[in-house]
Each structure stands twice: as structure tokens, then as C-alpha cells.
């Protein structure tokens, strides 16, 4: 039977939502604006009801595209966006000061062509501002009806608990797939304890668990995966050997690698939803095509044993980025 809808801030959503980032940034050349908007509209047509965007993605380009695609259909989608990360030339960092949160929201509302955002995240922890101050500012926005709920992204269980003491936190968004397991250290359990939905981004392992990468050297020049240790020459052969075995499991079970990975993530808890991203309609359709398939317990255990923190070579991020991440990490 299909996996049932799961709640975010009390609203039932399909467990596979859409991460919109790749329509604007990160994985090489982005689709044309026309193609991006068409993909977003097609997503709604086939049952996607949770879109995830952010100010950082294309520095407003992504929110603009989403806002255009949602005209006349805003009520069909649970809309999430993020603030707190900025990039201006060579200057990059986090700013979650209360005044910045409010001003950034006003820009996002304008770009998204809406009067409210259902779920508004702090994209990363601003270590210069107490988390309680940032959450307090967001709580004011909830009271004003400009946002429906507060989310955190890539933050620790300790930070989540501090934030939740100020205001309920509806969602925690963190990378999670068979080959990225940091959330299992403490965040998944903390989310369950607090009634916080865990939103798994990159649930198909930056595309490698979707059959999307066989040779990192062939990735486009601007693709951010070129800078990630797991795609480097000294780690890739070991990782690709795991991927080939993973693909064989998917073929045996009659699903695609992406469908296997998504089903595995969703099997890890009924408080988990996923937001795979894509710039291709074929992948968009593939990601929700097998909702009639629930991963058998034995198959989930097989995947768990094959690809995990001990078997994957290399960290998920390069060293320069690590200090900006608040999530727990393996020693």
C-alpha cells in the first residue's frame, strides 16, 4: 500500500516533496527559467504538495521561480523557504540577527508573491546570535501570520532543544541518506521527542544513489560536488563500488536506485519526510512513481549494512565548510 501522508506543523503532506535548489544553483548549469517553471507546475499536477526553496538559491532566483509557478495555485503547496545564509562576492556567512530575519522575510514574501510562508527556516546557525533570540524573532512573525511555522536546518539536537524551549519547532532539515548518517547520532531522536518533523535533504546522496553519477570528472565545472571529498579521486573508487552493489539491490527489487533510497529514508521513522531535488521532469516523476512499494525490513537492513558511515570514504563536506555546520559529527 502507498506510504501515507505525513504531517508538518499539523498539515498532512506527501512524504516526498520537492527540493527546488537545483533549478537555480549548485549542480552545474541550471535549466532555463521557462523549463524550471514548467517543472514546478508539473510537480503540482502529479501530486507534489511540499516545495522547499531558499533565499540563497540563485540569490533570489529560486524564490522568484517558485513564486511565478505558484500563481493561482498557492493553496496547493505547503511552501517552505529559508534565510540566514548570505553570499556577496567573496563574502559568505550566516546572519540570523532578529532585524535581518524580518527584513529577509519581507523580501522573500515579495519574490514568492505571497502573503505568508508555511514554514520558514534558519538555513544555518548564526553562532554570533543566541538561538533563543533568533527563534524569538521568528515567533513574532508566526504571531503576525507572516509565517506558519519555524524550522531549523543543519543544527544539533542541543540547539533544537534550546530553540524548542522558546517556541515549537515544526521541522529540522538535515542531509540524510544511506551514505550520510549524522542525523542518526542525536537529531532524529530529538525530533521524535519534540514532535518535530525531520526533513531529509539530499535523500538520494547528491544523486549517486539515483544512478546520477558514475564519473565525477564528467560533472559540469560549476557543480559543487567537485569540491566534496567523497567525489575525489582517492575516495571515489571505493564509493562507486558500494553504489554498484546498491544499484543491484534496486534492480533485484524491481525499483530504481532513487526509489530504493527514498523508501529506505522514509522507513527510518514516521516523522521523516524527504525533499529530493531535480531539474529533470523524468526524475521528478520517478521519485514518486512507486508509492505502492514499501521497502521490506530485510532489504532495508541490507542497504543499512552496505552503505553507512563506516563503509563510505570521505566526509560529506570539504574542511572549509565544516565550521559552519552545527550538526553532530562522527569522531
List residues with catalytic annotation: 57
Distance CA 317, CA 309 (A): 14
The number of angstroms, rounded, from the C-alpha of 291 to the middle of its chain's C-alpha atoms is 19
CB within 8 Å of 186: residues ≥ 6 apart: 156, 157, 158, 328
Extract the C-alpha cell encoding 226. Answer: 567537485
The answer to whether 134 and 27 have CB atoms below 8 angstroms apart is no
Burial class (CB in 10 A: 0-12, 13-18, 19+), 91: exposed
Distance CA 21, CA 276 (A): 10
Distance CA 84, CA 95 (A): 5
DSSP string, 198-210: EEEESTTGGGGGG
Extract the C-alpha cell encoding 281. Answer: 521532469
Q: How many helices (H) and strands (E) does the chain have?
A: 10, 12
Amino acid at each position: 500500500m502507498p506510504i501515507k501522508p505525513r504531517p508538518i506543523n499539523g498539515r498532512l503532506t506527501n512524504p516526498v516533496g520537492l527540493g527546488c535548489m537545483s533549478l537555480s544553483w549548485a549542480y552545474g548549469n541550471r535549466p532555463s527559467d521557462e523549463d524550471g517553471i514548467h517543472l514546478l507546475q508539473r510537480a503540482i499536477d502529479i501530486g507534489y504538495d511540499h516545495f522547499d526553496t531558499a533565499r540563497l538559491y540563485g540569490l533570489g532566483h529560486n524564490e522568484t521561480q517558485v513564486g511565478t509557478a505558484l500563481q493561482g495555485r498557492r493553496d496547493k503547496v505547503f511552501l517552505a523557504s529559508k534565510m540566514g545564509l548570505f553570499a556577496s562576492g567573496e563574502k559568505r556567512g550566516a546572519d540570523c540577527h532578529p532585524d535581518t530575519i524580518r527584513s529577509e522575510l519581507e523580501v522573500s514574501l515579495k519574490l514568492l508573491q505571497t502573503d505568508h510562508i508555511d514554514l520558514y527556516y534558519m538555513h544555518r546557525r548564526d553562532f554570533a546570535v543566541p538561538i533563543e533570540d533568533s527563534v524569538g524573532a521568528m515567533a513574532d512573525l508566526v504571531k503576525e501570520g507572516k509565517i506558519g511555522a519555524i524550522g531549523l536546518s543543519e543544527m544539533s539536537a542541543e540547539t533544537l532543544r534550546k530553540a524548542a524551549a522558546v517556541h515549537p519547532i515544526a521541522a529540522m532539515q538535515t542531509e540524510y541518506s544511506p551514505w550520510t548518517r549524522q542525523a542518526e547520532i542525536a537529531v532524529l531522536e530529538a525530533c521524535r521527542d519534540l514532535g518535530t518533523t525531520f526533513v531529509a535533504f539530499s535523500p538520494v546522496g547528491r544523486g549517486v544513489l539515483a544512478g546520477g553519477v558514475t564519473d565525477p570528472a564528467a560533472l559540469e565545472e560549476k557543480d559543487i560536488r567537485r569540491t566534496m571529498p567523497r567525489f575525489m579521486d582517492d575516495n571515489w573508487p571505493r564509493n562507486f563500488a558500494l553504489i554498484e552493489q546498491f544499484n543491484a539491490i534496486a534492480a533485484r527489487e524491481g525499483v530504481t536506485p532513487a526509489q530504493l533510497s527514498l523508501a529506505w529514508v522514509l522507513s527510518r521513522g514516521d516523522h521523516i519526510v524527504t525533499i529530493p531535488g531535480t531539474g529533470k521532469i523524468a526524475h521528478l516523476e520517478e521519485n514518486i512513481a512507486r508509492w505502492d512499494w514499501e521497502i521490506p525490513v530485510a532489504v532495508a537492513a541490507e542497504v543499512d549494512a552496505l552503505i553507512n558511515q563506516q563503509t563510505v570514504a570521505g566526509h560529506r563536506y570539504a574542511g572549509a565548510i565544516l565550521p559552519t555546520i552545527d550538526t553532530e559529527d562522527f569522531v
